[in-house]
Amino acid sequence: MHMGQNLVIDRRITRTKLAIRNALVSLIEEKGFDDLSVSEIAIKANINRGTFYLHYKDKFDLLEQTGAEVLQDLENIFRHAKSLRIADFISTDQPFPITVELLEYVKENEALVRVLFGLGGGIAFRAKLRKVVENTLKLGFLAGLKEENFLVPREFLVSYLLHAHFGVVQSWLENGCKESPQEMAQILSRLSLDGPFRATGLDLNNS
């Protein structure tokens, strides 16, 4: 088998797996993960059950592999970021480019990410995503900062940043991603750099 034939087969496999993933997302949004079957996924993807089992053991394996692919995509975005250091952005009003890029990915894959964040992905996906982001914070945003200068313990600072950002992104997803990734990145930047109380417009220095 020569290279051209391999390419054709690879593209066919990619198309098939994408159809299966799209079917999974559509069915979870329609009826939830617990009640759907492999047969329904196959019908929705316009394939037979045998083709499904060439790629996945069952619907749980499909969900796990789908989540792993999304996590890998996000890790790649972090890995190729030009900068992850707060000091590079603290003096500008522009949102972090990495935040814009991550939110663009979320918007492009809105239904899929919403499913993984919600009932479909469950706690396991969020836990794995937390680990990816936590490692990035420690190696990027918080790297080089002296922990003795922190006003709160590092573990609570990281936890606050993670949960606050996840919460905002989840609300954005639930509301249909009406704001652009750039607008959301600006919102997250203001919340991160100014804090939630100053974000209300209060002048804390004169209040």
Regarding whether 36 and 85 lie in a shared domain, the answer is: no
204 located within any domain = no
Regarding whether 50 and 150 lie in a shared domain, the answer is: no
91 located within any domain = yes
- Could you tell me how many helices (H) and strands (E) the chain has, helices first? 9, 0
Regarding whether 76 and 11 lie in a shared domain, the answer is: no
**Residues 11, 12, 14, 16: what is their CA dihedral angle, to the nearest 10 degrees?**
160
Q: Mind listing the pLDDT tens digit for each residue in 94-142?
A: 777 888 999 999 999 999 998 888 754 456 787 888 888 877 776 666 6
Q: What is the pLDDT of residue 120?
A: 45
28 located within any domain = yes
Element (H, E) at 14: helix 3-31
Q: What is the pLDDT of residue 39?
A: 97
Q: Please give the model's pTM, rounded to 2 decimal places.
A: 0.81
Regarding whether 113 and 40 lie in a shared domain, the answer is: no
CA distance 161 to 97: 17
Residue 81 contacts residue 101 (beta carbons within 8 Å): yes
Regarding whether 7 and 52 lie in a shared domain, the answer is: yes
Of 5, 6, 17, 10, the residue nearest 51 (C-alpha): 17
Of 189, 139, 134, the residue nearest 163 (C-alpha): 134
Q: What is the pLDDT of residue 124?
A: 76
194 located within any domain = yes
Q: Mind listing the pLDDT tens digit for each residue in 78-91?
A: 887 665 555 555 55
Regarding whether 81 and 47 lie in a shared domain, the answer is: no
Regarding whether 167 and 77 lie in a shared domain, the answer is: yes
CA distance 174 to 199: 22
Total domains in the chain come to 2
Regarding whether 52 and 6 lie in a shared domain, the answer is: yes
Regarding whether 173 and 75 lie in a shared domain, the answer is: yes
207 located within any domain = no
The domain containing residue 22 runs over which residues?
Answer: 1-56
